[in-house]
């Protein structure tokens, strides 16, 4: 393991180090290079307090993770705010990705992908992130109520204004993605450069249609929830309450994953992990990284040590036979 030293007391922390652990990949056909691991931050300012969140970001940067994923709605904007204060002074070294489109309030225009909501929310995100631009701006989910032309023209305008560098989408079906691409082409707008679906050993819908299409069209692919929110680390047991402070103990949406059917698969994964002597989280992450369509795996953390452990995965070579066995889970 690399002997990483993080300087906590200085405001401008250690510059990004390109090292043997974290490799970089271009996002689709763009020139933008992102680390193979992206730091996920949907628990920053909620389950994970501000101070710990900042030390996680510092650890990530020190290990060469240059890419951070957040959203305007994560912990009511606290996630973006914490990132903004942590990256202060190092902005250009980070690839900052945020999202718009989920409900951000109760008034009628506080959700979706209308021109009004996007223009309102980008200003809020830029302010909280303490930056002049967002590197990748995601449509968080498809909006059935807003014409795609309106959404995509607005995003194109944000690029022209220099507030956004690249546009991407999350949780779109293949058909929705194709429709959006067609609109961009018809109106000569900036194209979508990447997608962000959920993907892990037990949630593999993206393999069916989305991945082959992204490979063919050379789109960037950022996958989320690679450890199923921690379930695939083996920290949960079927007949015991979730460990204190864990994701499932603090977030009911994640607790829903503690189902019998998932434990059946988890037990098989545990048996393989024991047999080959490799931690579950390492198997689960390296299995995704081995897929050539994947640009970067968005993985969350609640402690800096988890980031350190996860960063080692990029250097681990999962052999083909083990890859096949895991794929059969
Ligand atoms: N686009 C979307 O709609 C969408 C949806 C969900 C997530 N995301 C993005 O994807 C990111 C990652 O997804 P996620 O947070 O749902 O799930 P995840 O990355 O699968 O799981 C993260 C959790 O796993 C545990 N963990 C991580 N590394 C570990 C290690 N080495 N050892 C033990 N436990 C470890 C921690 O759990 P404990 O907290 O219990 O320690 C951590 O909070 C999010 O933060 C967010 O940025 C996007």
Angle between helices 78-86 and 115-129 in degrees, nearest 10: 40
Residues 85-108, buried b or exposed e (16+ Cβ, 10 A)? ebbeebeeebbbbbbbbbebeeee
Predicted local confidence at residue 4, as pLDDT: 32
Predicted local confidence at residue 11, as pLDDT: 35
Predicted local confidence at residue 188, as pLDDT: 98
Residue 74 annotated among the catalytic residues of the structure:
yes
User: Rounded to an integer, what distance in angstroms lies between the CA atom of residue 85 and that of residue 94?
Assistant: 13
Provide mean pLDDT across the span 266-295.
97
User: Rounded to an integer, what distance in angstroms lies between the CA atom of residue 266 and that of residue 216?
Assistant: 32
Provide mean pLDDT across the span 205-213.
98
Residues in Cβ contact with 131 at an 8 Å cutoff, skipping those fewer than 6 apart:
84, 87, 91, 96
> Residue 290, exposed/middle/buried by CB under 10 A (0-12, 13-18, 19+)?
middle
110, two tokens: 């506080």
176, two tokens: 């929705």
Say whether 164 sits in a helix, a strand or coil: strand
Q: What's the mean pLDDT when you consider all of the chain?
A: 92
Evaluate: CB of 224 within 6 angstroms of ligand 1.
Answer: yes
Express each pLDDT in 260-270 by its tens digit.
Answer: 889 999 999 99
Nearest-atom index, ligand 1, CA of 305: 31
112, two tokens: 């979706």
| Residue minimizing CA distance to atom 5 of ligand 1 | 224
Secondary structure of 144-196 as H, E, C letters: CCCCHHHHHHHHHHHHHCCCEEEEEEECCCHHHHHHHHHHHHHCCCCCEEEEE
Predicted local confidence at residue 22, as pLDDT: 58
In this structure, the strands spanning 164-170 and 24-26 are: unpaired
Predicted local confidence at residue 17, as pLDDT: 52
Give the confidence band of 2 by pLDDT, cuts at 50, 70, 90: very low
Predicted local confidence at residue 16, as pLDDT: 52
| Residue minimizing CA distance to atom 46 of ligand 1 | 40
258, two tokens: 């503690």
Give the confidence band of 257 by pLDDT, cuts at 50, 70, 90: confident
Predicted local confidence at residue 198, as pLDDT: 98
Mean pLDDT check: name the lowest of 112-121, 124-133, 210-219, 236-245: 236-245
Taking 50 as the threshold, does the pLDDT of residue 296 lie above it? yes
What CA–CA distances, in Å, run from 166 to 77, 170, 192, 294?
A: 21, 13, 7, 18
Taking 50 as the threshold, does the pLDDT of residue 201 lie above it? yes
Residue 49 or 241, more confident = 49
Find the 102 Cα to ligand 1 centroid distance in Å. 19
Centre a 10 Å sphere on the Cβ of residue 158 and count the other Cβ atoms it contains: 20
Taking 70 as the threshold, does the pLDDT of residue 71 lie above it? yes
User: Rounded to an integer, what distance in angstroms lies between the CA atom of residue 168 and that of residue 195?
Assistant: 6
84, two tokens: 């903004």
User: Rounded to an integer, what distance in angstroms lies between the CA atom of residue 104 and that of residue 117?
Assistant: 9
For ligand 1, mutation pick of 82, 229, 289 (most atoms within 8 Å of CB): 229
Q: Say what the pTM is.
A: 0.94
Evaluate: CB of 131 within 6 angstroms of ligand 1.
Answer: no
Strand partners, 69: 40, 97
Strand partners, 49: none
Closest CA to 281 of 254, 262, 260, 300: 300
Predicted local confidence at residue 8, as pLDDT: 29
Nearest-atom index, ligand 1, CA of 69: 47
What domains can you pick out in the chain, each with its CATH number? Answer: 24-230+288-317 (3.20.20.100)
Provide mean pLDDT across the span 221-248.
93
Strand partners, 168: 138, 194
Q: Which of 24, 74, 133, 157 is catalytic?
A: 74
Provide mean pLDDT across the span 149-163.
98
């Amino acid at each position: 393991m690399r002997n990483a030293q993080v300087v906590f007391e200085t405001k401008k922390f250690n510059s990004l180090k390109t090292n043997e652990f974290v490799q970089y990949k271009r996002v689709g056909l763009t020139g933008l290079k992102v680390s193979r691991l992206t730091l996920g931050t949907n628990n920053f300012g909620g389950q994970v307090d501000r101070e710990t969140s900042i030390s996680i970001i510092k650890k990530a940067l020190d290990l060469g993770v240059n890419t951070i994923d957040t959203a305007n709605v994560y912990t009511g904007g606290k996630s973006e705010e914490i990132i903004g204060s942590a990256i202060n002074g190092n902005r250009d070294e980070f690839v900052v990705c945020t999202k718009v489109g989920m409900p951000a309030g109760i008034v009628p225009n506080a959700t979706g992908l209308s021109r009004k909501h996007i223009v309102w929310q980008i200003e809020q995100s830029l302010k909280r992130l303490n930056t002049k631009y967002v590197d990748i701006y995601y449509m968080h989910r498809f909006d059935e109520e807003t014409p795609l032309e309106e959404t995509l023209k607005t995003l194109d305008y944000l690029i022209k204004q220099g507030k956004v560098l690249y546009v991407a989408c999350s949780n779109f079906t293949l058909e929705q993605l194709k429709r959006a691409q067609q609109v961009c082409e018809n109106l000569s707008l900036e194209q979508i450069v990447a997608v962000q679906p959920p993907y892990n050993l037990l949630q593999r819908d993206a393999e069916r249609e989305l991945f082959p299409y992204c490979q063919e069209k050379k789109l960037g692919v950022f996958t989320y929830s690679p450890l199923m929110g921690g379930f695939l680390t083996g920290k949960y047991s079927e007949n015991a309450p979730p460990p204190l402070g864990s994701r499932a103990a603090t977030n009911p949406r994640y607790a829903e994953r503690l189902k019998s059917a998932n434990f059946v698969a988890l037990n098989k994964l545990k048996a393989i992990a024991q047999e080959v002597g490799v931690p579950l989280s390492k198997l689960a992450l390296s299995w995704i990284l081995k897929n050539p369509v994947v640009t970067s795996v968005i993985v969350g953390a609640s402690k800096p040590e988890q980031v350190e452990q996860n960063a080692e995965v990029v250097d681990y070579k999962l052999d083909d036979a083990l890859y096949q066995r895991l794929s059969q889970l």
